[in-house]
Structure formats: structure tokens, C-alpha cells
A and B are shown apart, each in its own frame.
Chain A
């Protein structure tokens, strides 16, 4: 400012600074809008093309608004794909897995966070190390074991493991339990509460934020799971949404019927988007915890 000599040049400089600030802001928002379009265009097109007549879908360059709105794409898709059964199966697997995940992970996390026992830290290190184990290494022996006990074509392989704790969820929950002040526990103990009561009536209510994050991660995991249902569920009556959608799009003759495929995809995506918009904050928290461990 001191360098400015006349009021006129101050004005000019000020104007220039302001102009360049506006320009850089405009550029910033332009960039953000461009990126949003990049991320959302495929989803937007999925929704729009699910109402289009088939011949409009193949037009080049791509068209965005249905020439005529054709909701019968949905009913036609449902003729080939038993959405009701796959939806019910997915709901069942998702809910039971969620209960298993929350129950087992809070228990185990509490054990690691609040009790001293021999080899506790070594065991916790093993827990973290299992996060690194590729699923491909587990795939075959676990499959062979399920085959041997007759669990192929049942929901057990998708549900039962969730009752034995998931390393990552345990980690999240333990971090949270560690943050709860010890005084609170001591007070409960002095009042004569048993360990089980402290856990169920003091810790669980306090751990609600962590539990919501785990619930969301678990929901996403089960709802989106593809590989598990693909290898374990052969009977069409047991198919989940993910497998239903995959089978539908790879039916002979379905290859080119994009409008129905998009209708089917929309049906699978919609529930997830609803949950996402309801629990946005927890979704973001879940992503954060997964990336900022420790």
C-alpha cells in the first residue's frame, strides 16, 4: 500500500486485485461444477435412460431427456428379474449381518479397550494384521469348508462370519471406547454395577456414534457384496439384488436392452441413495475413520 503514489493508482490496483480475486473464485466454482458433472453424469444418465424408449438410448451423441417417458421399462425389467425375492433376501442378509457385526464388534472392542490381560497388545496387533490378508487367500479353504458342511446354497456363509467380529469395525469401536473417561466406569463400579451391566447400560448408549458408523459400513458391505453371493448362492430363490442385477444384465438377449438394465440398476441404487442422504454425516465419518486410523 505504501508504494501507491496517487489515489488513482490505488483505485486501479485495488480494482485489479478485486478482479483477479473474482476471477480465481469463478474459476474455482467452474472447476467444482465440472467435477460434479463428471461424478454425477453416469448416475443421472442411468436414471434418465431408464425411462427412455430403446431406440433413443443408442443415439450418438448421447441424449439426456427421454423423448417419451416410458415407465413400463421398469415393469418389463421386473418380468425377467424377480425383484421382490432378491430384495427380501438382500434385506434379510443385510439386517442379520448388521446385528452380528454390531453385537460382536462392540463386545470385542470393549474387551480390548477396557481390560488388561496377558498378550492383549500382541492379539490386537494380530487383529490389525488380518486387515492386510487378501480375500483371495481365504477364498478357497473357506469355500471348501462350507461345501463340506453343506452350507453352499444357504445364507450362512454370508451371515455367520459377521458374528465373530470384523477387524476394522473392532478397531473403530475400540478407539471410541478408549475415549470414554474412566471415571464414568469407576462410578458405575462403585454403585455395584456388574461388568455386563456396565457394558450394556453405560458403554453401549455412550458408543452410539461409533455404532452408527459401523452399522452404515456393515449395511454397505452386505448390500453391495457381489463375490460372496456369487459363489455361495446358486439357487435363484436365494439370489440377492447384486446377483439378480448381474444375472439380469447377462441374460442371453439382454445385452442391448439398456433402458431395462438402467431401470433395474436404478431399483438397486435407490435404497442405498436414500440411506446415504439420511445418514450423510455418518457416511463421511465412516470414510474418514477408514483413512485416518490412529
Chain B
């Protein structure tokens, strides 16, 4: 298993640039067909990726309310963000809490559940289905359900706390607990990472464990020295995917709290969305500037993880192409 990115980069480096006029007539015909097949995507990437990418960058230097044409204001939005918008930093901090917490929950809990299911457990398919089930539920419905799970007066979670002798928590009514409530809710999607880890675990050849057993390795040593190193490519990719998506958390927060109480759950994308679609007049320019800062943050995170991956991600020899 090698990362798709790595393989693609390798292929790029390995190949000399092919020029159109050097191609034989047969190769030209092949190339023409190839381009014809990918034509929809080329149009798509220009319209739905390149155009918005460039346009939002330009809009981030303007005041824009959709109705009137954009007005150039230079770096004003970027200055405003750090000097005059306390909610910018607050939403960034809330998002950081969500990213950190939910990624750890998904990776650690997902991995632990996959390990449990990888012990030749009976009814494997049934457990896997049960754990995966909540992740297919539409997020609007999940939000409606979890609003009651986390209800301060009589919710499911408070009933559970009550049953084990703990006091009730006010969850969304308490700024100290509101973000924690969303982290608890994020366990809903642990099944997705679990399924992925389980498939990875099942791909580890039995011989490795047999060899480790003969060498007298304990269960714990086998986990640390065999399982985890062999799983690093999968862990790596899942950390990456989960970080990118956690930074963009929006829907459940928009529906359940809208950022309340006292902006304790105002996340970055919610802040950005409010400026573009909730406030009047719409502040699309400022919102674009926020989007670009988010893009840069995600880009830096991705780059750092990819760059450091060589130090902790091990690829099994032979499978790399």
C-alpha cells in the first residue's frame, strides 16, 4: 500500500515530458481519445475548482454583497480579522478543540474497536454493521436526535449519568460543556474509521504474528511492534482525511446550536457562513478572506503531515510500485 500521492509524484518524476508533435499517429489517436474521455472532468475542474479558487482569492480583497459589484479594499479584511473580530480567534480556538478531540476520538476509538473485532470474534459482520449503522444516518436527522440525547433536563445522556450516580450536565446551556457535547456526538462516526482499520488489520499476514509468538512476544508487544507499524499507512491516511474534514465541521453545529451558548460552539466555517449567508447585508468579501485563511491552515497541516510521514509511516517492501 503506497499513498496515491506518493505514487503519482513518483510517476511524474520518472517520466520525460511527452510532446504532442513527437507522438506517432497511433499515439496521437490514443491521446485524442484519452482527452475526449476526461473532457467532462477538465470542464468541471475549470468551472468548479479553478474558477472559485481564483475568484474567492480576488473577492477576499473586496467588499462584496452580491447585489452591487465588488469594491476593492485591499488587505482590510485580513487586518480586520486579527484586530477587530474577536469571534475570528474564538471560532478558530473552538475549531481547534473540535479537530483535536474528534480526530483523537475517531482514530483511537476506531482503532480499539477494530482490534476488538479482529480477535476472531463471532458474528463479525453483525457487529460491524451495528457499529457502522449510525454513520449512514442523514446528519439533519442525527442533529435532531442528538439535540434530545444532549437535552439538559431529561436527555438520554443525562439519564445515563443519573443511572451511574453522576449529576446532570447542562451540555448546550453551559459554555464549558457545549463543545464537549459535540465531541461526544462525534463518536457517531467512529464506525467509519473502524471499518477501514478492520480491513487493514485483516490484511496483515498471520505469519507475522506466528513469528512474533515464537520469539516470545507478549500480546502488548505484538500490538506495538507488529500491528501498529504495519498499520501506519492506514493510520496516516485516516488522520489526514479526518483532520481535513474536522476543520470544516458545520452542519450539526448550524442546526443544533448556531454557535450558542455565548459563541462557545461557534466554529470557523459557521462564522464564515454567517458572514456570507446570515448577516445583512451579506459580507461575501470578508467571508472569502476567512475561507482563504482556512484553506491555508488546512494546506499547512496537510503539508506538515505529508512531510513528516516518512519518519513514522512504514510501507511493506515489495508492495510499493
A-to-B contact residues, CB < 8 Å: 28-29, 31-32, 35-36, 38-43, 45-46, 49, 58-62, 104, 107-108, 110-112, 114-118, 120-128, 130, 132-145, 147, 161, 163-165, 170-171, 195, 199, 220, 223-224, 226-227, 231, 241-242, 245-246, 249, 258, 261-262, 264-265, 268-269, 272-273, 276, 280, 283-284, 287-288, 290-294
Contact = CB atoms under 8 A, between A and B. Distances in A.
B47 A111 contact: no
Interface in B95-140: 113, 116-117, 119, 121, 125, 127-140
Given A32-B116, A134-B248, A294-B5, 8 more contacts: A42-B146, A43-B134, A115-B37, A117-B30, A164-B41, A227-B250, A288-B199, A290-B241
- Residue among A123, A140, A161 having the largest count of chain B Cβ atoms under 10 Å: A140
11 contacts: A29-B121, A39-B191, A40-B133, A45-B148, A60-B159, A118-B20, A121-B8, A139-B287, A226-B139, A291-B199, A294-B4
Nearest to A276: B136
Nearest to A267: B141
A126 B281 CA distance: 36
Interface string B12-26: 100101111001000
For chain B, what secondary structure do more than half of its interface residues adopt (helix, strand, loop), or is it mixed?
Answer: helix
A136 B291 contact: yes
A163 B40 contact: yes
Contact of A132 (B127, B144, B299): B299
Interface string B39-76: 01111110111011101100100001010000000000
A231 B4 CA distance: 34
Nearest to A41: B156
Nearest to B110: A291
A273 B35 CA distance: 40
Given A39-B188, A61-B159, A116-B27, A108 B145 contact: no
B254 to A, nearest CB: 8
A108 B38 CA distance: 4
How big is chain B's contact interface, by range? Answer: 35 or more
B48 A136 contact: no
Interface in B158-181: 158-159, 162-163
Interface in B255-313: 255, 269, 272-273, 276-277, 284, 287-288, 290-292, 294-295, 298-299, 302
A165 B145 contact: no
Given A108-B40, A258-B148, A137 B237 contact: no
Contacts of A116: 18, 27, 30-31, 34
Interface string B180-210: 0000000110011101110110000000000
A121 B34 contact: no
A283 to B, nearest CB: 7
Contacts of B195: 284, 287-288, 291
Nearest to B135: A287
Contacts of A291: 192-193, 195-197, 199, 234, 237-238, 241
B269 A137 contact: no
A241 to B, nearest CB: 8
A58 B12 contact: no
Contacts of A265: 141, 144-145
Given A245-B144, A287-B196, A292-B196, A195 B156 contact: no
B2 interface: yes
Nearest to B18: A118
7 closest cross-chain pairs (CB), A and B: A164-B44, A115-B34, A111-B37, A291-B196, A294-B4, A141-B55, A117-B31
Contacts of A141: 51-52, 55-56, 59, 288
